[in-house]
Amino acid sequence: RQALTTAKTQEENRAGFLLTVVSGSGGAGKSTVATLAALLGARRGLRTALLDADLQFGDLAALMGDAPSVPAEEVARTGAVPDELSGAPLVLVSAPRALERSEVVAASMGSVVDVLVASFDFVVANTGGGWDDVHLLLLERAAASLFLVDQRASSVRACRHALDLCLRCGIATGSFLLAVNRCTRHAPFTSIDVSSALDGAHVAELADGGREVEELLGAGMAQSLVEASSPLCISIEGVLDELLPLASRPASAGVQAPLARIGLAPKADAGLRGKQRKRKGRASRREAALAKDAS
């Protein structure tokens, strides 16, 4: 705890918005959600870094295909992001290539985060399934944290255990957003179910993207998934609307585009036409009354 406090970055030196994606156990979809959140952030015009802090078994390099990348151990060693990547809208900071290097990089994770939040507008940190000091460091540094729960009862129980750990370690949970993943019409859990299990906490829902998500991510085509406006991507876009500062949100037309595709977008002139109809109705009633009085 003392080491985490000593390594904590001062608020006045923080530049970028750090979003940490965690879950109580493995398999909740952290890698998928973190990858898509980073791509959607870059699409908003934010210079974005995707940090794979699953230091032992992180596979974001495979999911991102040929995206510009730099190993986390190189950032820790040099204290900077390579100059040739400075102009890229999205940079992947990948997990160590050698498994035995994970402990070395974990010890330097504080300095890696310092470099990224000083160099990028938006930093998304993916985490592993097993909790360790890296989780606590990233949660302490984060401007917001997305806590994923999947459709298993064990995932809900693991979420409660992890939240209890955060409270024991003195990590404020006010910036946490809980989200239940893989939601469908016939899914076992909804946000209401998970909220009830977690004492009424606010819980968002992430839609199940179906087989398309696994197929495109497995082929390293995450960008294609975003461009296809998958239901999962639309859900994550809504989460970013809730978490990111207002200045980073897309124009209103972009926000309403997914709604328009399913016939739910409000029409801009509907209110105006309604007011015009009311005014015409009142005028016609007045004319009728005057004609009656004249007769």
At 284, the pLDDT band (50, 70, 90 cuts) reads low
203-240 pLDDT, tens digit each: 999 999 999 999 999 999 999 989 988 999 999 999 99
Percent above pLDDT 70 for the chain: 78
1-18 pLDDT, tens digit each: 455 455 444 444 447 999
Helices (H), 8-108: 30-43, 60-63, 72-78, 102-107
At 97, the pLDDT band (50, 70, 90 cuts) reads confident
- What are the sequence ranges of the domains in the chain? 2-264, 269-295
The amino acid present at 286, given as its one-letter code, is R
The predicted structure's pLDDT at residue 246:
57
Kindly report which listed range (23-37, 146-160, 246-260) carries the lowest average pLDDT score: 246-260
The predicted structure's pLDDT at residue 87:
84
pTM: 0.79
> Mean of the pLDDT values across residues 166-181?
93
Q: Is 23 helix (H, G, I), strand (E, B) or coil?
A: strand
The predicted structure's pLDDT at residue 250:
55
The predicted structure's pLDDT at residue 62:
92
The predicted structure's pLDDT at residue 267:
37
The predicted structure's pLDDT at residue 112:
96
At 266, the pLDDT band (50, 70, 90 cuts) reads very low
The predicted structure's pLDDT at residue 272:
39
Q: Is the pLDDT of residue 285 over 70?
A: no
> Cα torsion at 66, 67, 70, 71 (round to 10°)?
-70
Q: Which of residues 208 and 270 earns the better pLDDT score?
A: 208
At 108, the pLDDT band (50, 70, 90 cuts) reads very high
Q: Is the pLDDT of residue 286 over 60?
A: no
Which residue do the tokens 């955060």 mark? 166
Distance CA 253, CA 234 (A): 14
60 CB contacts (<8 Å, ≥6 apart)?
A: 31, 34, 35, 50, 52, 54, 92, 94, 95, 126
At 256, the pLDDT band (50, 70, 90 cuts) reads very low
Mean pLDDT estimate for the chain: 83
Which strand (E) or helix (H) includes residue 178? strand 176-183
The CATH homologous superfamily of the domain defined by 2-264: P-loop containing nucleotide triphosphate hydrolases (3.40.50.300)
